[in-house]
Amino acid sequence: MTEVVITIFIFIGVIAITAVLFLAWLFFSIARFFIRSINGLSGQSPRRTRDVILQKRCRIDRCGAPNPIGARFCRRCGHELNLEQGRSFQRAAML
């Protein structure tokens, strides 16, 4: 009889812990949603603004894809992005 009671208490304890964890997750998810919606009303987030600033566009008219500043070739079409320098260079292998 005591084994059944202990099993029931363990079962209820596991359910209680699961419920507490679920409610905590639900609370933080709702809070994060409201914080993101409030930040969305004030404009873009700082990370997105920084990403837009640190990009350069492909100079090919049909492409125009955004690429990171340090990229040598376009991610979409593969054309060289250093066309404004007027020359291309190759790196020498160091042994």
Output the pTM of the full model: 0.42
Question: What is the number of structural domains in the chain?
Answer: 2
The whole-angstrom separation of Cα 48 and Cα 42 is: 13
Q: What is the dihedral of CA 52, 55, 61, 62, to 10 degrees?
A: -80
The whole-angstrom separation of Cα 62 and Cα 58 is: 9
Same structural domain, 26 and 55: no
Residues spanned by the domain of 73:
45-84
The whole-angstrom separation of Cα 44 and Cα 37 is: 11
Same structural domain, 2 and 38: yes
3-state secondary structure of 67: strand
The single-letter DSSP state of residue 69 is: T
Residue 57 sits at φ, ψ, to 5 deg, of -90, 150
Same structural domain, 36 and 51: no
Can you say how many angstroms the Cα of residue 40 is from the centroid of all Cα atoms in its chain? Answer: 16
pLDDT tens across 9-68, in order? 999 999 999 999 999 999 999 999 988 888 776 555 555 555 555 678 888 888 888 888
In a domain, 89, yes or no: no
Same structural domain, 39 and 49: no
Same structural domain, 1 and 37: yes
Same structural domain, 24 and 56: no
Return the higher-pLDDT residue of 3 and 42.
3
